[in-house]
């Protein structure tokens, strides 16, 4: 058999890492201030000290709440294999109290090798849960309840949350309730009787800092030097990666992407796309890989429309942007023509068109939805006098002009002055 190409093997390794959120978050879990360390300390102390606890993990989708939680549970199951039972519920699947209690009973029966009755009533399952909490407490075994989409459990009468938190008030029970939600006000959705039994501990999952991003990139994209890779290849690959990470152009690319989406989940998706562009002949990552991935992700329909505009239409768009910069909140075609004439008079460009030609270009921009009427009444009045607004951002217009092959230099200069 032919030996596997080191470049193909490296590509497979990097892709497998990027598909494993647990591996990615290991790089962010070493600090004592990390959410991983705080959550692990809380749960492990509850296990060792035989006490009850509850906590909420809050943050936007893709911020790593579930990944960090799974990392903590995996470590604790290895440290305390006979002292933990994990019950997992989702508000999307088990939103009703009856369904939630039945799922808890099913998982407890499976965990402790008991017979589960599908015909058990709501009260039977509720009493069974309370009895199991008491028995596990006496056996010094902690039950960890993971409630994903926690805010959905707060809908309705909240019988599950009340029964669970009320049972944890007993000295004989031993449990930890971990709620996961993308709503930062999830605790405020709780009824007064439930809130009084909740510990009000919360962990916020915020976008990672620049130092954490650098550590994450290094952790994921570096090749191990003590593995089956040829030593020279691994060293050269890592050296090339260090040069890319230190390049200011790369930092700008990452900054642009993080402004677009700062969650770790989507950053991993972006890196997967960038790694997939790696040249298998050289076997090295390059700055062009990350540029290509960024341009592929940041496809804006407005930019493509700007590229198809005529020179006159570009002039009209720039004139409208200049009017907005001058804080002229309401303007129409006549206002745009005055600005167009002022540019021509000050610069003496050869790109000057008749008014009727400009009006047709203006109407074409309306059809392309690069500009639009400020209200519905504009559609019933003359186009020349109806108030209009620009439907493209400054960044989109600036990028569109830069990528336009035959864009007049004066338009670029006018846009640069507006920065």
Could you report the per-residue pLDDT of 245-283, keeping only the tens digit for each? 999 999 999 988 887 778 888 899 999 999 999 998 888
Residue given tokens 């951002």 in the structure block = 393
Angle at 271 between CA 269 and CA 272, to 5 degrees: 65
Q: What is the pLDDT of residues 305-358, one digit of tens each?
A: 888 888 899 999 989 988 888 877 778 899 899 988 888 888 777 778 888 999
Distance CA 137, CA 235 (A): 53
Band of the pLDDT at 379, cuts 50, 70, 90?
low
Distances (CA, A) of 109 to 85, 121, 374, 408: 11, 15, 63, 74
- Token pair of 370 as six digits: 């690069």
pLDDT in tens, 185-242: 888 888 899 988 888 899 999 888 888 888 899 999 999 887 778 888 889 999 999 9
Pairwise CA distance, residues 330 & 324, whole Å: 9
The two beta strands, 371-373 and 388-390, are antiparallel
- The residue-averaged pLDDT of 157-179 equals 88
Distance CA 103, CA 125 (A): 9
Burial of 186 (0-12, 13-18, 19+ CB in 10 A): buried
pLDDT higher than 70, residue 4? no
CA 205 to chain centre: 11
Distance CA 69, CA 388 (A): 50
State the number of CA atoms in the 13 A half-sphere of 144 facing the CB. Answer: 24
d(CA 417, CA 419): 6
Q: What is the pTM for the complete model shown?
A: 0.67
Predicted confidence at residue 378, as pLDDT, reads 54
């Amino acid at each position: 058999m032919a030996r596997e190409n080191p470049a193909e093997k490296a590509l497979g390794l990097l892709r497998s890492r990027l598909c494993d959120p647990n591996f990615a978050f290991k790089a962010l879990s070493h600090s004592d201030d990390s959410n991983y360390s705080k959550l692990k300390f809380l749960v492990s102390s509850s296990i060792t000290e035989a006490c009850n606890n509850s906590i909420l993990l809050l943050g936007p989708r893709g911020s790593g709440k579930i990944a960090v939680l799974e990392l903590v549970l995996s470590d604790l199951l290895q440290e305390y294999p006979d002292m933990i039972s994990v019950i997992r519920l989702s508000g999307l699947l088990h939103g009703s109290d009856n369904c939630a209690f039945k799922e808890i009973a099913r998982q407890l029966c499976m965990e402790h090798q008991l017979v589960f009755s599908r015909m058990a009533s709501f009260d039977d399952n509720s009493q069974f849960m309370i009895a199991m909490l008491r028995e596990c407490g006496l056996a010094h075994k902690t039950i960890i309840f993971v409630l994903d989409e926690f805010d959905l459990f707060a809908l309705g009468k909240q019988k599950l949350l009340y029964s669970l938190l009320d049972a944890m008030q007993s000295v004989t029970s031993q449990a930890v309730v971990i709620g996961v939600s993308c709503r930062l006000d999830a605790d405020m959705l709780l009824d007064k009787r439930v809130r009084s039994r909740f510990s009000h501990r919360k962990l916020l999952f915020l976008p990672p800092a620049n130092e954490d991003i650098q550590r994450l990139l290094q952790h994921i994209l570096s090749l191990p030097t003590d593995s089956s890779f040829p030593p020279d290849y691994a060293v050269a690959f890592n050296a090339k990666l260090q040069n890319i990470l230190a390049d200011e152009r790369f930092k700008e690319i990452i900054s642009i992407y993080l402004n677009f989406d700062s969650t770790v989940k989507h950053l991993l998706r972006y890196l997967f796309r960038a790694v997939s562009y790696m040249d298998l002949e050289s076997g090295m990552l390059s700055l062009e890989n990350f540029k290509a991935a960024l341009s592929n992700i940041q496809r804006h329909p407005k930019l493509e429309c700007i590229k198809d505009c005529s020179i006159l239409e570009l002039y009209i768009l720039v004139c409208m942007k200049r009017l907005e910069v001058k804080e002229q909140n309401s303007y129409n075609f006549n206002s745009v023509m005055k600005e167009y004439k002022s540019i021509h008079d000050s610069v003496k460009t050869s790109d000057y068109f008749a008014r009727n030609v400009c009006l047709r270009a203006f109407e074409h921009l309306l059809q392309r939805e690069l500009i639009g009427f400020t209200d519905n009444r504009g559609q019933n009045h003359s186009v020349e006098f109806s108030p209009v607004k620009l439907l493209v951002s400054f960044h989109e217009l600036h990028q569109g002009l830069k990528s336009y092959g035959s864009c007049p230099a004066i338009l670029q200069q006018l846009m640069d002055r507006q920065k």
